[in-house]
Amino acid sequence: MKYILNPVILLLLYDIIQHAVGDQLINSFDDIIGPGNYTYYRLMHRGYIRLILDSLEGDADLYVSSQTLNPTFAEYDLQSTTCGDDVVDINPELHRPVTIGVYGYPLSARTRYILHILLVTDYDHGYPEQITSEKLNKPVVNPNKKSFVSSVKDEEESVIWTILVGILKVLLDILL
């Protein structure tokens, strides 16, 4: 007995799987850094990126910049400097490549950390819920730098895409 899958069912299955998977891990780095030193990573990947820095020993801080090759605590676009896990969300508008700087706490003999770089896939052409400084004291935008927030044009494009997808689904239902 042959089973023929309706393309609409395939689209629905794809959508369900995509939402179940959530964020996609791009890379993880497990490293040790000396006191008062920086380790730098270059990010070329586009899309909405979430950085999660887990300090295993000592306390590592996270600095991100698209304008300087070596971001520091004095020169950065985005930062997270908490005791514990640090999280920074990088919007797609932030010019690539992006440099990620991990700073080792100066009063620790060594700082061991794991840096996870995730592609956020669980959103509908907008941005996922922002982690604001009021909620977690993370991420902090440098007040001297311009903000990278969604524009009205992006919201209009999202509405247009939603309408187009709806029309395509109706056409597929009619044709099949």
Question: pLDDT tens digits for 126-153?
Answer: 444 443 333 333 344 444 443 333 333 4
Q: How far apart are CA 19 and CA 26, in angstroms?
A: 17
Residue 172 falls within a domain, yes or no?
no
Q: How far apart are CA 137 and CA 160, in angstroms?
A: 35
Residue 120 falls within a domain, yes or no?
yes
Residue 165 falls within a domain, yes or no?
no
Instruction: Report the Cα 102 to chain-centroid distance in Å.
Output: 16
Residue 162 falls within a domain, yes or no?
no
Helix locations, 22-151, DSSP H: 133-136
Q: How far apart are CA 55 and CA 110, in angstroms?
A: 11
Question: pLDDT tens digits for 149-159?
Answer: 333 344 445 66
Number of domain units in the chain = 1
pTM of the model: 0.61
Question: pLDDT tens digits for 44-100?
Answer: 999 999 999 999 999 999 999 999 999 999 999 999 998 888 999 999 989 999 999
Rg of the Cα trace of the chain? 20
Residue 50 falls within a domain, yes or no?
yes
Q: Residue 94's domain spans which residues?
A: 24-148
User: Where residue 42 sits, what CATH number does that domain have?
Assistant: 2.60.120.380
Residue 15 falls within a domain, yes or no?
no
Residue 161 falls within a domain, yes or no?
no
